[in-house]
Amino acid sequence: MSIYDSLNPKQQEAVFHTEGPLLILAGAGSGKTRVLTHRIAYLIEEKHVKPWNIMAITFTNKAAGEMRERVDKLVGSGSESIWVSTFHSSCVRILRRFIEYLGYNTNFTIYDSDDQRTLMRQVLKKMDLDPKQFRDRAIINAISTAKNELISPQEYRLNAGGDWREQKIAAVYQEYQDCLKRNNALDFDDLIFKTVELFNASEEVLEYWQERFCYIMVDEYQDTNTAQFRLISLLAGKYKNLCVVGDDDQSIYKFRGANIRNILDFEGAYPGARVIKLEQNYRSTSHILDAANAVIQNNEGRKDKALWTDNGAGEPVEFRQFEQAYEEAEGIVRDILKHGYAYQDCAVLYRTNAQSRLLEEQCIRNNVPYRLVGGVNFYQRKEIKDVLSYLKTIANGHDDLAAQRIINVPKRGIGATTIGRITAWSSEQGISFYDACVRILAIPGMGKAAARVGKFTAQMESFRELLQTGASIKELIEAVVSETGYQEALEAEGEIEAQTRLENIEELINKAVSYSEEHEQPDLNEFLEEVALVADIDRMDDSENRVTLMTLHSAKGLEFPMVYLSGMEDGLFPGMMALMSDDKTEVEEERRLCYVGITRAKERLLMTAARLRMVNGETRYSKVSRFVEEIPAELIQAERLYERAGRQRNNETGADGLPWAKSRQQKGVSMFGMKSNSYDSPTPDFSGTPACGAGIFDAAGAGGRASKNPAPAFGKQFTVQRQTALDYGVGDRIRHIKFGEGTVQAIEDGARDYEVSVNFDGAGTKKMFASFAKLKKI
DNA sequence: CGTGGCATAGTTTTT
DNA sequence: CTATGCCACG
């Protein structure tokens, strides 16, 4: 009895085929991770391949982590030396050792999309291009596409030919790359691009890695782009022991450069490649699977395959159309409360992040604990970026963007003029921005600002010393936040803002602590880089009992017993862009996305749509998504609204006859923004807090209990409950966590919360919200 | 130099 | 509608 007996014949075939190129076409839920992990185990235990000669590439860190965990269980010792990581982190590791061949320094920094944008603006400004004609976003996209296709600035210029605009973009591309290099920085696309460049530049380096990775496995192969394909080809070029796993029907990252031809043409690129299809699905009921098959069949140019399952038929797929978008959200949440699945077994999926708002509202309203994946990345939040910029500047002064970001945060009286002068001087001298700051006295025309800059650099140097003398990253962050006055400045901004932001910083500190615990020799640079490559999905903690809200894209690779597909409307999903496009593969891509969504469901699938939805401030009517129509009637149980004539509609929806009247009214009583007493308890207005809907945050339900409890429950950022009564009154002595002791001056019954004025012994009079201030009676 | 107000533009999905 | 950017004022 071996561990391989539990695999089906096809899976075994894939596991035992170890030499030469292998394409595993793994349909949704066909156990591909099982195959990959068992294959690794087989290589090590039966073929005696050294663990360090194996490389497994996944798309997200989360997937990498899971795979590593499962491999650990299968393979006793040595599994830690297998490379299991994403394309991006693999490339970083390679570049950290050899990028000097390309004239960069090995302690390069990684620019995220925000940094990229900042830099691009600087470049566009410097080149004096009409911002109307050359939008940063558009140029970044063009460059990104070029990099994904391995097109260098020089080639871009050649391809541009006589096209004036393209010529300009080529020049911007060139300048942008020069700036990156001067800053010793790489953007996301560069990580792959530069690694390929490195391999092309040095036979010696390439051979080193070819010998290192004799066995390579790539997951989600349908989503690789040209650069990634090239990278893999180079690495596997010598031994050709390349095993790729993917499903062409789940290719959903075209916008990111993914080239579906990579998987469709694999056999062409690797003659003699073995192809194994995994078609048995272990995840879903046959109703769900048949619905998925029915939808995807409408695509052309796919690899022929037929997924089947011997799970039971299960319940039919359901579809419900609602009048209003908020009713749709409400319907979903009600259903969650009704059907009895644990919260953590439910996922609500949608096409665009904007749709999460209504769902959140309804979850909060009905006390359903949820977890939001996506939106603004945690690491892109202002306060986090600020702190990280400090750390970057402390770690090495090479990152100009980071230094420029924080030199006047908190306010130090160093304005744009001064920063501009320093920047100009630093580029004249060919030194970094930070180094220029250090030599501030040498810069002409500085005046008063010189002293301020001097104070700044002195402080930064003191932080460096702190780090030298062995302070942990945690201690460093704490020192930065308190000694620079960052925390103070934050608190001055307002109670609610400060609270959420400080909690975010707290979360970053936690991250730093767990990093330090995991590594024998914690290193600030390494920490920064780890943090630079995390995706939202990586931070998803599925141990808590919460409903998951996320985009269809984020859902790839996951599964849930109960799945809701919301916003099934033509114009939203498939999106307007795809419908309008002449390129019909755009709709096909959306259809694949739908296929991914459907196949996430194990037991029950409910699709929903609204006939009316607010989009960009105006109400839009939509038809039911064509994807729903593609599911044969016998598989689906549909509740539709009748298509009504316009006049009748007015009677139904709005007292004043306006079609959108009802939605306005609803907006008025919504949880966001408006003051309203129609709920058991008001909630903070988090439509205004930047942290809202950002990254993953946890909104805790009342311990998993549904309704009844009048206090709405938020977690983390929103650990807010309006106290029905305060245990202190005017004149009482209280204690505040930061301001110390004081006397309550007044309590106002505000719209959302009690506003308490307190005269602190040390800090004077402050007005604060009761639920945030956490005042204790003494 | 900092702030606040106004105008404008933008909108998919993310490593 | 909302976020961001720019400009004018204090």
Strands A560-565 and A547-551, by their bridges, are: unpaired
Q: Which nucleotide's C1' sits nearest to the alpha carbon of A60?
A: B15
- Name which residue leads in pLDDT, A86 or A380: A86
Residue A301 beta carbon within 7 A of nucleic strand C: no
Q: Which residue is nearest to nucleotide B13 (CA to C1')?
A: A553
| Residues A238-256: tens digit of each pLDDT | 999 999 999 999 999 988 8
CA atoms of A543 and A704, how far apart (whole Å): 13
- pTM, to two decimals: 0.77
Nearest of A209, A217, A212 to residue A42 by alpha carbon: A217
Residue type, A133: Q
Gap from A725 CA to C1 C1', in Å? 36
CA atoms of A127 and A172, how far apart (whole Å): 8
| Residues A705-725: tens digit of each pLDDT | 333 222 233 334 332 333 445
Mean pLDDT, rounded, of chain A:
82
3-state secondary structure A428-484: HHCCCHHHHHHCHHHCCCCCCHHHHHHHHHHHHHHHHHHHHCCCCHHHHHHHHHHHC
Gap from A354 CA to B11 C1', in Å? 10
In this prediction, residue A774 has a pLDDT band, given cuts at 50, 70 and 90, of low
Q: Which nucleotide's C1' sits nearest to the alpha carbon of A117?
A: C4
Q: Which residue is nearest to nucleotide B12 (CA to C1')?
A: A352
State the pLDDT at residue A771. Answer: 53
Active site residues of A: 32-33, 219-220, 250, 600
CA atoms of A150 and A157, how far apart (whole Å): 13
Gap from A743 CA to C2 C1', in Å? 40
State the pLDDT at residue A769. Answer: 55
Gap from A433 CA to C8 C1', in Å? 30
Residue A617 beta carbon within 7 A of nucleic strand C: yes
| Residues A298-339: tens digit of each pLDDT | 998 788 888 999 999 989 999 999 998 889 999 999 999 998
The alpha carbon of A558 is separated from its chain's Cα centroid by a whole number of angstroms, namely: 15
Strands A547-551 and A346-350, by their bridges, are: parallel
CA atoms of A337 and A331, how far apart (whole Å): 10
Q: Which residues from the 139-198 window of protein chain A have CB within 7 angstroms of nucleic acid chain B? A: 188-189
Q: Torsion over CA of A33, A37, A42 and A44, rounded to 10 degrees?
A: 150
Gap from A620 CA to B11 C1', in Å? 15
Residue A703 beta carbon within 7 A of nucleic strand B: no
- For residue A575, pLDDT over 90 is answered with no
CA atoms of A263 and A224, how far apart (whole Å): 9
Q: Which residues from the 669-688 window of protein chain A have CB within 7 angstroms of nucleic acid chain C? A: 687
Task: Please tell me what DSSP assigns to residue A744.
Answer: E
Mean pLDDT, to the nearest integer, of A465-481? 93
Nucleotides on strand C with an atom closer than 7 A to protein CB? 1-2, 6
Q: How many residues does chain A have?
A: 778
Please enumerate in sequence order all residues whose Cβ is within 8 A of that of A434, keeping only pairs 6 or more positions apart, or say none. A393, A397, A398, A400, A403, A457, A460
Gap from A108 CA to C3 C1', in Å? 31
Q: Which nucleotide's C1' sits nearest to the alpha carbon of A535?
A: B15
Q: Which nucleotide's C1' sits nearest to the alpha carbon of A617?
A: C1
Do A552 and A351 touch, CB atoms closer than 8 A? yes
Residue A418 beta carbon within 7 A of nucleic strand B: yes
In this prediction, residue A215 has a pLDDT band, given cuts at 50, 70 and 90, of very high
Gap from A742 CA to C9 C1', in Å? 39
Do A286 and A309 touch, CB atoms closer than 8 A? yes
Task: Please tell me what DSSP assigns to residue A545.
Answer: -
Nearest of A338, A385, A397, A332 to residue A361 by alpha carbon: A332
Do A225 and A259 touch, CB atoms closer than 8 A? yes
CA atoms of A15 and A39, how far apart (whole Å): 5
Measured CA to CA in angstroms, residue A216 lies from A108, A235, A530 at distances of 27, 8, 23
Angle at alpha carbon of residue A357, lines to A351 and A360, rounded to 5°: 110
- For residue A534, pLDDT over 80 is answered with no
Please state whether the peptide bond connecting residue A316 to the residue before it is cis, i.e. omega within 30 degrees of 0. Answer: no
Residue A60 beta carbon within 7 A of nucleic strand B: yes
CA atoms of A705 and A86, how far apart (whole Å): 38
- Beta bridge partners of residue A25, listed in sequence order: A246, A277
